Amino acid sequence: MSSIRPFRIAVPDNELADLKDRLARTRWPEPECVDDWSQGIPLSYTRELADYWANSYDWRAREAALNRFDHYTTEIDGLDIHFIHQRSPHQDAFPLLITHGWPGSIVEFHKVIEPLTEAGFHVVCPSLPGYGFSGKPTTTGWGVGKIAEAWDELMVRLGYDRYGAQGGDWGAAVTTQIGRNVGSCIAIHVNMPIAQPPAEGVGEMTEDLQKALARIDYYRKWDSGYMKQQSTRPQTVGYGLTDSPVGQLAWIVEKFWSWMDCDGNPENVVSKDEMLDNVMLYWLTASAASSARLYWESHDTWGGGGYVSVPTGIASFPLEILRAPRAWCETGYNVTHYTTMPRGGHFAAFEQPELFVEDVKTFFATVR
């Protein structure tokens, strides 16, 4: 346990002053030629968020709120990994590893960590390599498979010889890989399962199936440009995002608008402060390029892989970017629990923390 080091978020004042100065000197483009988000995040809303960021957002208060959790770092295979380790007061608490994706961070889970510990889980919430306060890989190889192995080593290092894992987005990819054959994980729960239409055809065209296919079609046509860029040239996109706070904000918040179940305004489900908390974990750590490299490393992860034989729980949110009916999931997972959620999108724990916590509790109660 000596290799586990306490960590506290403490951003120097000069970095906050630099941010404010850069925001004041933003070189703005002309407005979009439409009256909606179809060309990207609108200029007026971006200016509104940037003004709030510069003049109303209080990082020190937000920093203190994040520091209410127990943060640590540890070195795994030469890389510093940052994580929250929040222990439950319950004697028989079950260890639960929860992993975020892109463009998320540990901020996604700030509303569910305490309810989960109160419900009887020891929560371990790491920052992906190249994200947030984790180290940035300097060599290739830190893809989903290696991260899954590192996460299992982390859990063993913390003293857990059996645990559950949960994730969405890249967190779902890592969790799925853990559930295939890695270490001491006994069950997994995902809110974005890696599943595709079966090769032999989709079968009867039900309403749910129509919606799933429509979401895939929309994503491919209109919503996947970021993925192509980050999976092919992550270094190139990193220069602009690392240099411009408004650029980084726009790159992330557009996805909140598109991927959240928010009726056209992300502030219907999360606050400006919450969105900016997440943006700050990219901006303060200059992790635009290093986070994007995970796409370069593991883009093909979404195309296949071995069967997950451990019990698997799936929460299907209606506006998930890639919805997968249960029949699709059962070709790749041992699905023992499947919940069709009434509302919510891609950022499940961020958008619908109560629904998320309840489903996680219900599923893991069947395997503990």
What is the rounded CA–CA span in Å between residue 168 and residue 190? Answer: 6
Backbone angles phi, psi at 2, to 5 degrees: -65, -20
Q: Which one of the listed residues 57, 163, 282, 295 is annotated catalytic?
A: 295
85 carries an active-site annotation:
no
Q: Are 166 and 97 in contact (CB under 8 A)?
A: yes
Degrees, nearest 5: CA angle 21-290-196 = 125
Look at residues 163, 188, 109, 62 and name the one whose alpha carbon lies nearest to residue 348: 109
Q: What is the DSSP string of 349-365?
A: HHH-HHHHHHHHHHHHT
Contact of 279 with 255, CB cutoff 8 Å: no
Q: How many CB atoms lie within 10 A of CB 228?
A: 11
Coil, helix or strand at residue 120: coil
Residue of 71, 82, 337, 346 with catalytic role: 346
Q: Is 333 among the catalytic positions?
A: no
Indicate which residue of 152, 169, 277, 359 is catalytic: 169
Residue with tokens 């290092």: 157
Q: At what angle do helices 234-243 and 245-259 cross, to 10 degrees?
A: 110
Residue 226: active-site member = no
Q: Which amino acid is at 11?
A: V
Strand positions, DSSP E, 134-184: 163-167
- Active-site residues, by number, are 169, 295, 346
